[in-house]
Amino acid sequence: MSLRVGMKAPDFTMKGVFKGEFKEFSLSDHKGKWIVLFFYPLDFTFICPTEIREFSRRNGDFEKLNGKVFGASVDSVNSHKAWIEGELGELTYPLLSDITRKTSIDYNVLHDDGTALRGTYIIDPEGIIRWMVVSDMDTGRSVKEILRSLAALQTGERCQVEWEPGEKTLGAA
């Protein structure tokens, strides 16, 4: 069955790297938070570090919206750690390892070549998928748009095209 907005998000437990340490992270451990889960193809690639660094740079903005960011790929935690300690630099959120590819399958982002597509999911505090975008590997996503969408979802109202936080909405949904 394919995922759709309005469905319960598949729970996951994956090992990850955060601040140089390995730890397990589960969706169910973050009930009450807005989760932004994004998948990227592979460590040590061209577009991925631009997105990962931008999520890290904007992580405080997500936290102000009661958001928790997780990045995930099919790489091992050791690969994540080596990339962070080398080229990537310290991050403000964890990178998760979906080395088994189970979560990539559950979220319908596993590409035929065994890597993950660029999938992004906003999951509400009750565990429901409220926003999702899956795109080709060669086009980086807009972290600004993901933040805008998270803020719009939290209004509980209709938000017009190009709506920005602080602007008037179209009213109750």
Q: What span, in angstroms and rounded, lies between the C-alpha atoms of 35 and 27? A: 8
Residue 48 falls in the annotated catalytic set: yes
Query: Catalytic one among 9, 36, 48, 69?
Result: 48
Q: What is the identity of the amino acid at 117?
A: L
Helices marked H in 107-171? 143-155
CA distances (Å), origin 7, targets 128, 148, 162, 163: 6, 21, 26, 25
Angle (CA) 94-81-123 rounded to 5° is 20
Name the residues annotated as catalytic.
48
